Structure 1
Amino acid sequence: MNELLTAVSAAGPLAAGWSIHGLLLRRRLTAARHDPLSGLWTRDAFEARAVRTLARRPHVALLLLDLDGFKTVNDRHGHAAGDAAIRTTAAALTTALDGRGGAVVARLGGDEFAAVVPLSDPAGLPWLLAGLHDEITAPFRYGGHELRVGVSIGAALSSDLNAASRTPGDGVLGVLLRLADEAMYAVKRDGGGWHYPAAGVPVAGSTAGRRTGRPGTHTTLRKGAA
């Protein structure tokens, strides 16, 4: 019995050490999945969660967002002001999507963001986009100045997809990313706002997985209109 107690006592510090090691490892992995500036998910973590959400929900909106005027804020007020714009945008996205079960928000890099948002009623997507646009473009204070950035938002809805909109090798996430990317670029050329193209609108060509902005592939756009 004494030998057993001695063995347990000796193993205690070792077990505790491994427990602490495991906790630190989990914390490091969690930190690696979050962007340090915005606190949002990174691209890889976002894509993994987006795939799961798409598999479980019938109506999922994928949003791509690119800030307008971000370089001007950086140039006029310094990179710290640009960082504040990124943090403010992240907070606006998090607040606007709070309470929407299954929503996932990420910073893809630079001033680009993404989100997947399950919808109970797809008809509500334009109102969601308009609300996000208003939240993100609201002025914020930095260094005694009232600053503002614009945003271009492109959206695609999973339940709009059909066989004609897919290309070989693309999963649902890949198709939605291309559709949303094209919609975002189109509205950016129109001066910013948001755009959710009608179901069945073909995807413009892309080069190296990025938009090429070929004309004639979208419905007529009006700033801030579906």
Structure 2
Amino acid sequence: MTDRQQPGFLEAIEQAGLLVEIWEHFPENMFLIRVEGPDFLVEAANPKMTELFGQDCSGKRLHDFLPWSVAEEVVAHYRECLRQDAPLRYEEHATFHDARGQEREGHWLTLLVPVHDPNGTITHLFGVSQNVTELRLARASLERYNRDLEAVVDERTRALNAVNQQLQEANRQLEALASSDTLTGVGNRRHFQAGAEREMERARRHGGALSLLMFDLDGFKSINDQDGHAAGDAVLRKVAASVQTTLRANDLFARYGGDEFVLLLPDTPLAAARQMGERLRTQVQEDAGVALSLGGAGFEAADTQLEMLVQRADAEVLAAKRARKAK
């Protein structure tokens, strides 16, 4: 068949009614691009594509009806399809003006298929371009919504974490207030009792040594009466600070009431506890200028309550006071 006898593209599809129907009524852009050396011309465009551009693009170069930058991007895809000599799918975004000067913008998903002559040379590129603008806009809207939602979640998470930190700090402060003596800063009676009972149970279970020291300040009432309660409070704070400098990490120290203090010494026999008591007496005398009356008690198997140790130690404190007065 000579070149003159070869039917044109439209003539060829007119010979097949089904192809004509597809070409005329396909809801997306269909087009045939003729390859002319380094250039590309629109040989045919279906009605949907003609409607998009508002003009018949047949016989025109892409640069004739598209902005230069847009045309260059499209041509780059055409050249890539030629280079690969294989179908090429890509998505493109374009903004252009139709024949009436109306600005058109959108996103298209395009499939290019190279068409060969009998010699295997690519003569045309057949393309189908689907308008995915609405899908793109919906996706962008969803992505914005997700970003906004993530921002809200992050903000609320940070706010919640801040509140949790504040609550934790408040709880720590409340726990400290509940377990500390407000005047001296050492443990209070309730905190001491809870810790001492745990240590007694441990000593009972494992048979370890456990000792309790109790002391109060000699002449403390006279300090309050002569110098005032502020002076008495200052002495109590000095005594507590002095004792704390000699404590081990697992020792329990508390203000038991008034000018009475208790000290629980885990893993410490009573004899060693008494020696420590004498060192405390000397230390407090140097630091706070006040004498101590001191008593001790060692944990025994029959001790079912902390008060039993406290009573024995307190009895020694009273005995020490009587002995001082008798001198």
SS of 1:44's partner is: helix
Give the equivalent residue in structure 2 for 1:180: 313
How many residues are treated as equivalent by the alignment?
A: 177
Q: Distance in 2 between matches of 1:178 and 1:71?
A: 22
| Residue 125, structure 1, aligned to residue 266, structure 2 | no
Code of the residue aligned with 1:186 in structure 2: it is A
Give the equivalent residue in structure 2 for 1:11: 156
Q: Distance in 1 between matches of 2:277 and 2:229?
A: 28
| Residue 56, structure 1, aligned to residue 189, structure 2 | no
Q: Distance in 2 between matches of 1:104 and 1:20?
A: 29
Give the equivalent residue in structure 2 for 1:151: 292
The gaps in structure 1 that reach 5 residues or longer are 141-147, 193-221
Q: Distance in 1 between matches of 2:296 and 2:270?
A: 12
Q: Distance in 2 between matches of 1:123 and 1:178?
A: 18
SS of 1:154's partner is: strand
- Equivalent pairs: percent with the same residue? 34
Question: What value does the CA root-mean-square deviation take over the aligned residues?
Answer: 2.4
Q: Distance in 2 between matches of 1:190 and 1:176?
A: 21
Question: 1:93, 1:136 within 8 Å by CA — same for their partners in 2?
Answer: yes
Q: Distance in 2 between matches of 1:117 and 1:59?
A: 9
Question: 2:184, 2:240 within 8 Å by CA — same for their partners in 1?
Answer: yes
Question: 1:101, 1:118 within 8 Å by CA — same for their partners in 2?
Answer: no
Q: Distance in 1 between matches of 2:209 and 2:234?
A: 33
Give the equivalent residue in structure 1 for 2:283: 135
Question: 1:136, 1:149 within 8 Å by CA — same for their partners in 2?
Answer: yes
SS of 2:187's partner is: coil
- CA deviation map 1:91-131 (0-9, x unaligned): 1211122xx34201001121111110124554423311211
- Greater Rg, structure 1 or structure 2? 2
SS of 2:246's partner is: helix
Paired residue for 2:226, among 76, 101, 106? 76
Code of the residue aligned with 2:156 in structure 1: it is A
Alignment of 1:194-209 (within 5 A): none
CA apart distance, 1:54: 2.3
SS of 2:245's partner is: helix
Give the equivalent residue in structure 2 for 1:35: 181
Q: Distance in 1 between matches of 2:301 and 2:199?
A: 18
Q: Distance in 2 between matches of 1:96 and 1:105?
A: 11
CA apart distance, 1:44: 0.5
Q: Distance in 2 between matches of 1:79 and 1:34?
A: 20
Superposed structure 1 runs of 4+ greater than 3 Å apart: 1-4, 119-123
Give the equivalent residue in structure 1 for 2:323: 190
Question: 2:238, 2:287 within 8 Å by CA — same for their partners in 1?
Answer: no
Closer/same/farther in 2, CA of residues 30 and 103 from structure 1, 3 Å limit: same
Give the equivalent residue in structure 2 for 1:219: none
Q: Distance in 2 between matches of 1:78 and 1:190?
A: 27
| Residue 67, structure 1, aligned to residue 199, structure 2 | no
Closer/same/farther in 2, CA of residues 162 and 70 from structure 1, 3 Å limit: same
Question: 2:214, 2:262 within 8 Å by CA — same for their partners in 1?
Answer: yes
CA apart distance, 1:56: 2.7
- CA deviation map 1:179-209 (0-9, x unaligned): 11212112122117xxxxxxxxxxxxxxxxx
Question: 1:53, 1:102 within 8 Å by CA — same for their partners in 2?
Answer: no
SS of 1:96's partner is: coil
CA apart distance, 1:38: 0.7
The gaps in structure 2 that reach 5 residues or longer are 1-145
TM-score normalised by L of structure 1: 0.69
Code of the residue aligned with 1:149 in structure 2: it is V
Closer/same/farther in 2, CA of residues 178 and 103 from structure 1, 3 Å limit: same
TM-score normalised by L of structure 2: 0.49
SS of 1:107's partner is: strand
SS of 1:40's partner is: coil
